Structure 1
Amino acid sequence: MTRVDGMPATVLADGRTATKALLRLESDLEDALIDAQVGAAIGAFEAVCGLLAIARPVAETVQASARGWTRLSQVPVRSVEAVEAAEGAAFPADDLPTDIDPDGVGWVRRGTGDRLYVRYTAGLADGWADLPDAARHGIVRLAAHLFTHRDRTDDALPAAVAALWRPFKRLRLR
């Protein structure tokens, strides 16, 4: 089970501002709808690319692997704050059984129980302005597309957006 904290309101506000600029909207009447479209576009970026766009806290329960190491589900991992065994025993802060590889994948070493509770922070950027230009522009373009085509049921990702996000896409081999 994984729980990722919600998107910070400042990120949605910055995304709304950029989307309204692209759409040349000056009225505030559609702000709630545009916020929803920006949130959906960020969610699409995360789903398509396989990574969290904005850094935020994650709480995850992982099944300990018999091989010794278990992969955390969200990437890129920035830091691991706590690991607890199923029976509630915490590991000392200076000896957390974790590792973060160069690709930002987090790993936790098998604990004393079958399940481990892990709290960590994961995400590509600290805020809207820190997102790479192509990722940010793709999010804005998709939000604008969703806004202008909200009466359609076509759920295909626009080709321009897919092209902008392609460099960020992570493939996971099992």
Structure 2
Amino acid sequence: MMLIEETTVPQAVLPIAGLRSHLRLGSGFAEDSLQDGLLEGFLRAALAGIEARTGKALIARDFTWTVERWNGAGQGLPIAPVSAISQLSMVGRDGLPTVVEPCKYRLVQDAVRPVLAPMGTCLPTIPHGGHAELKLTAGMSPDWGNLPADLAQAVMLLAAHYYEYRDETSLGRGCMPFGVTSLIERYRPLRIGLGAEQ
């Protein structure tokens, strides 16, 4: 399985001025935007970190997901929430895709675990030695202002943490600051047993 981000979060959506204010950087000077590129990088890194921990796309964008075999009659999708499926294709061993008619599958929307479900008894058969390719749109909001406040704050806090410790060269344990983990805790996937996602 592989999930590829086809479109990136537009720069205009990122709260660069908000992060500058949060960090209490100087304002009213000709060089106000001097660090904007650096702040944008930290915001993108923080966004990616929060999305990885929660399994959710925060800002809506397009993805392509490839899978070599279905996991049951309905296939759980690797990211949430999914708002639309634009295309499902079966790609043979020769690399040639065949588009599946939309009447043969449907999206079961869910904030935690969306599912690609068959319209009949099972999903279209994936060719031997080939794979299925699903094009989808996922994200909680098209812009920053409509994100849940706790997730937006978590991204801001993590970006600020990256900024403050940007010169740190020692290896840490990979833990997020406590304030960030507490804000995202309710969005994290529930795992039961041997790490299986439910």
> Would you call these one fold, judging by a TM-score over 0.5?
yes
Q: How does 1:125-164 map to 2 (within 5 A)?
A: 125-152=141-168, 153=170, 154=172, 155-164=174-183
Equivalent residue, structure 2, for 1:3: 4
Equivalent residue, structure 2, for 1:112: 125
| 1:67 Cα deviation from its structure 2 partner | 3.1
Report the 3-state secondary structure (helix = DSSP H, G, I; strand = E; otherwise coil) of the residue aligned with 1:124: coil
Number of equivalenced pairs: 171
Q: CA RMSD in A?
A: 1.9
Q: Distance in 1 between matches of 2:117 and 2:11?
A: 31
Q: Distance in 2 between matches of 1:41 and 1:47?
A: 10
Task: Give the stretch that moved more between structures: 164-173 or 135-144.
Answer: 164-173
Alignment check: 8 A CA contact 1:54 1:127 kept: yes
Q: Distance in 2 between matches of 1:40 and 1:84?
A: 31
Aligned residue among 79, 98, 101 for 1:92:
101
Alignment check: 8 A CA contact 2:80 2:110 kept: no
Q: Distance in 2 between matches of 1:144 and 1:111?
A: 46
| 1:96 Cα deviation from its structure 2 partner | 4.3
1:48-79 Cα shifts (integer Å, max 9, x gaps): 11111111111111223273332221211111
Report the 3-state secondary structure (helix = DSSP H, G, I; strand = E; otherwise coil) of the residue aligned with 2:98: coil
The normalised TM-score by structure 2 is 0.78
Q: Distance in 2 between matches of 1:89 and 1:83?
A: 9
Unaligned runs of 5+ in 2: none
Task: Give the stretch that moved more between structures: 2-11 or 31-40.
Answer: 2-11
Give % identity. 24
1:73-92 Cα shifts (integer Å, max 9, x gaps): 12111111111122422223
Q: Distance in 2 between matches of 1:66 and 1:32?
A: 42
Equivalent residue, structure 1, for 2:24: 24
Q: Which amino acid aligns with 2:184?
A: W
Alignment check: 8 A CA contact 1:62 1:72 kept: no
The normalised TM-score by structure 1 is 0.88
Alignment check: 8 A CA contact 2:81 2:110 kept: no
Alignment check: 8 A CA contact 1:142 1:158 kept: yes
Q: Which amino acid aligns with 1:106?
A: V
Alignment check: 8 A CA contact 1:72 1:108 kept: no
Larger of the two Rg values belongs to structure: 2
Q: Which amino acid aligns with 1:142?
A: L
Distance 1:66 1:59, change over 3 A: closer
